[in-house]
Structure 1
Amino acid sequence: MDLKNRISVIQGDITKIAVDAIVNAANTSLMGGGGVDGAIHRAGGPQILDECRDIIARQGKCNTGEAVITKAGKLPADYVIHTVGPVWNGEKHNEGKLLASCYRNSLEIASNKGIKIISFPNISTGIYHFPKQEAAEIALKTVTDFLSGSDAIHKVIFVCYDEENFSIYSKLIGT
């Protein structure tokens, strides 16, 4: 399967995308919040929050770069993979490596769960202020590297909420 056909970008609302799993740019508490995290929790309903509470009770917080999975509640997906992106601090705390870990760990969970189609938001580029161009380059490199070594996931869709991210991803993907 051609790698280029396995990655796409759209502009829209990730809570409306019918895929096997959507990725949530969560915070360490997994309790919902602002931006995409709050939107996913609101649209998915209480089942997501209940499962997040169970995860926190079992393991404590979800650390930056890590990922966990829940059912998707009322969303048009089967699962939500919650990953905690880094807060941008000028690359003083390996934010680039942590962001790559978000994508890699999410893909590994998806692969292990038999998920074939997954959608990602633009992790850390909102209130966490990660530079959008750099974040997109990291996301695409990490996803491309993962897909080139595995046929488990058939399609990755980057869902950009804003025009700026959509434009950046479109140029990098070549669409």
Structure 2
Amino acid sequence: MTSIRAVLGDITRQDVDAVVNAANTAMRGGGGVDGAIHRAGGPAVLRDCIARFPNGLATGNAGWTTAGDLPARWVIHTVGPNYAAGERDRGLLCSCYRRSLRVADELGARTLAFPLISAGIYGWPRADAVAAAIETISATRTAVTEVLLVAFSEDAFDEIEAALRSAERPGDQPR
């Protein structure tokens, strides 16, 4: 069974086997989590993205690269749907978590740090982004033993913590 817990902090400083990057389809770095991971990981991450993903990566899919200078061993890149641009298929968002866990299993990673995929500049409503993350990670068969949902802000951390507490008490869930 996979343990899920909320962490307030910087995803680039998490001591895990792999960090998950909320990437864009071009796989060449960007803003938000993507930019932070590329800056902290150094040029090796971008070089590996170019070599491994010359044509980018499709929305909902995931792949891995070196983590460069990060404390993690790997970066698992996944492309979330851009809600602000009209990509509102929740199945694609859930696919990001499932595919990332499959990649982690292929790598032998047992600990992962996820951001809230698509909840930043891509504009996915945060409450639903939190629910999609927790529901999908909980329902996915994986050898990953621990998942950290890393929040950059206290309000996001509080929202993740509340959702995790609620998930522990299924009788309290609305039907």
Q: Tell me the TM-score normalized by structure 2.
A: 0.90
Is there any run of 5+ residues in structure 1 with no aligned partner, and where? none
Distance 1:127 1:95 in 2: 17
Residue among 142, 155, 161 paired with 1:164: 155
Per the alignment, in what secondary structure is the counterpart of residue 98 of structure 1? helix
The yes-or-no answer on 1:13 pairing with 2:10 is: yes
Kept in 2, the 8 Å contact 1:89–1:95? The answer is no
Report the number of matched residues: 166
Distance 1:121 1:44 in 2: 16
The 3 A distance-change label for structure 1 pair 93 and 14 is closer
1:128-167 paired onto structure 2 within 5 Å: 128-146=122-140, 149-150=141-142, 152-167=143-158
CA RMSD, Structure 1 to Structure 2 (Å): 1.5
| Per-residue deviation, 1:56 | 2.5
| Per-residue deviation, 1:167 | 1.2
Is there any run of 5+ residues in structure 2 with no aligned partner, and where? 167-175
Hey, which bits of structure 1, 4+ residues long, moved more than 2 A?
92-95
Partner residue, 2:64: 69
Distance 1:93 1:116 in 2: 31
1:91-106 paired onto structure 2 within 5 Å: 93-106=87-100
Residue among 21, 24, 35 paired with 1:27: 24
Q: Tell me the TM-score normalized by structure 1.
A: 0.90
The 3 A distance-change label for structure 1 pair 140 and 109 is same
| Per-residue deviation, 1:154 | 0.8
| Per-residue deviation, 1:112 | 1.4
1:174 is aligned with what amino acid? R
The yes-or-no answer on 1:115 pairing with 2:109 is: yes
| Per-residue deviation, 1:94 | 4.5
